Chains A and B, each alone.
Chain A
Amino acid sequence: MQQIINFVIRHKNFLLFLFLLMLSLAFTIQSHSYHQSRFFNSANWITGNIYEAKQNITAYFDLSEENEKLIDENQRLRKLLFNKSNSDTISLDSTQLLYTITTARVIKNSYSESRNYITINRGRNDSIKPDMGVITSKGILGIVENTSPHYATVQSILNENSNINAKIKNTDHFGSLVWDTKDYAVVQLVDIPRMVPLNIGDTIVTGAMSSIFPENIPIGTIQKFDLDTAKSFYQIDIKLFNDMTNIRNVYIVNNMDRKEIRELESKNLNEQ
């Protein structure tokens, strides 16, 4: 017993180091799996407020550019609206809507790591919940991962763990959108079978299989494609429409039917 105590006293620094290192490794490795990074995220009160204060100052620098982006989008939406036939009545009954939209502002963006997260200034109090989709006027951005009362973190599509259903526009060939951590302007689409005709420049949009994003949200265009090592699926490089380095205003999409879809799917899983 005496020897054990002596050993602990003699090596107390090493043991402390080992303990803290193990602690941080445990946090890190545990959060490699989806939805585990609950404790370490920038959606908490202190970090959220500091980032918000900083954003309030720097927001003025590219205000005109941001205005132009929003005007462009308004123009596009007006064109759609005016050219739409039988658009005489628009239902305002929110119980019949399939998707609801909340706007938010990015207060912290990152794109240089291998697991990038974005922090936005809406949270639980604005009824933001994990697993809602986040898009910009140009294309998809990511999925809400953690929320606090006033802030939320978004798992960017520039994240190793990101896996989003996507398809080639105007077809029903779908695959998974992943990121190889190399270039922040390029993501990868995998699992498209080799018989699918592809062209460089084809548009990729979100697929209908996901209950997070609505169908046909733009993602990017095909830059390059190769067959994978097994020669049966394509490995496609996609150039994003979004400039991931310059994002300010975002929309959070909530699918009202998601809960129902998830319940149905989990029932299937339970029966198997």
Chain B
Amino acid sequence: MNNKYFINAIRFVLLVLVQVLIFNQLNFFGFINPMVYILFLYWYPINTSRASFIWVSFLLGLCIDFFSDTMALHAASTVSLAYLRPTIMRFVYGVNIEFQNFKLSNSTRVQQFTFLALLIVVHHLVFFTLEIFSLANILMILKKVVVIGSASMLLCLLFNSLFSAGKE
């Protein structure tokens, strides 16, 4: 139990540092900054209290916001994502997640992929809608969601296969 908190705390700090020191400065093609910290919400244990999950996600978003001067945009999108995660999981895994011994690593590749993709799409939609904040620029929002979303997806998949193999 202690171990679980420890791993999550380390993950939290490392993902924030990696995000703000490396990926926020990437500016690939001038605007592509992948958001890898979404992996925290992907890896976060399932059988924990929902309220604490929402709080932790809020803190994560706020930490990123402090570093990147984005007011509270990241916080707003991580909170929405944390609240919607159980719904997304039920959509992807069906009744399987009701079982006590359900683990992410036990699910199939396709399920993991869909789950991660949905998380990223929801997060980026909320984030860029709030950042650009006008319906007149809806094409620009969609363009950013698609392009930056696929970059995030690619990197998250890479990180996921790098770091989750040894675990569990």
Question: Which A residues lie at the B interface, using CB under 8 A?
Answer: 12-14, 16-17, 20-21, 23-25, 27-28, 31-32, 37, 40-42, 44, 46-47, 50-51, 54, 108-117, 119, 153, 181, 183-184, 245
Majority SS of interface residues in chain B? helix
Name which of A23, A46, A112 has the most chain B CB atoms within 10 A of its CB. A112
Closest-by-CB residue of A relative to B86 is A13
A-B contact pairs, 22 of them (CB 8 A): A14-B83, A16-B54, A16-B55, A17-B79, A21-B79, A23-B72, A24-B61, A24-B62, A24-B75, A25-B130, A40-B69, A41-B69, A46-B66, A110-B69, A112-B33, A113-B68, A114-B131, A114-B132, A115-B69, A116-B69, A181-B132, A245-B30
Q: A12-B51, A24-B61, A184-B30 are in contact. Are A44 and B73 (CB under 8 A)?
A: no
B103 interfacial contact with A, CB 8 Å = no
B66 touches A47 (CB 8 A): yes
A28 touches B24 (CB 8 A): no
A20 touches B75 (CB 8 A): yes
Residues of B within 8 A of A27 (CB): 71-72, 75
Closest-by-CB residue of A relative to B26 is A112
Name which of B32, B58, B69, B83 has the most chain A CB atoms within 10 A of its CB. B69
B118 interfacial contact with A, CB 8 Å = no
In the complex, what distance in Å separates the CA atom of A17 from the CA atom of B58?
9
A245 touches B72 (CB 8 A): no
Residues of B within 8 A of A110 (CB): 24, 68-69
B154 interfacial contact with A, CB 8 Å = no
In the complex, what distance in Å separates the CA atom of A140 from the CA atom of B30?
20
In the complex, what distance in Å separates the CA atom of A51 from the CA atom of B24?
12
Closest-by-CB residue of A relative to B131 is A114
Residues of B within 8 A of A153 (CB): 69
Q: 18 new A-B pairs (CB below 8 Å) besides A47-B66, A51-B67, A111-B27?
A: A16-B55, A20-B79, A21-B79, A23-B72, A23-B75, A24-B62, A24-B79, A27-B71, A28-B71, A31-B71, A40-B69, A41-B69, A42-B69, A44-B66, A47-B67, A112-B30, A115-B69, A116-B69
Residues of A within 8 A of B21 (CB): 50, 54
Q: A40-B66, A42-B68, A112-B30 are in contact. Are A24 and B83 (CB under 8 A)?
A: no
B80 interfacial contact with A, CB 8 Å = yes
For window 46-88 of B, CB contacts with A under 8 Å fall at: 50-51, 54-55, 58, 61-62, 65-73, 75-76, 79-80, 82-83
B113 interfacial contact with A, CB 8 Å = no
B31 interfacial contact with A, CB 8 Å = yes
In the complex, what distance in Å separates the CA atom of A24 from the CA atom of B33?
22
B76 touches A25 (CB 8 A): yes
Q: Which one of A25, A116, A183 contacts B72 once the chains associate, using CB atoms below 8 Å?
A: A25
Residues of B within 8 A of A119 (CB): 69
Q: Which one of A17, A28, A41, A183 contacts B130 once the chains associate, using CB atoms below 8 Å?
A: A28
What is the CB-to-nearest-CB distance from A55 to chain B, in angstroms, rounded to a whole number?
10
Residues of B within 8 A of A13 (CB): 50-51, 54, 83
Residues of B within 8 A of A28 (CB): 71-73, 76, 130
What is the CB-to-nearest-CB distance from B23 to chain A, in angstroms, rounded to a whole number?
11
Residues of B within 8 A of A184 (CB): 30
In the complex, what distance in Å separates the CA atom of A119 from the CA atom of B61?
20
What is the CB-to-nearest-CB distance from B13 to chain A, in angstroms, rounded to a whole number?
11
Q: Which one of A14, A111, A113 contacts B70 once the chains associate, using CB atoms below 8 Å?
A: A113
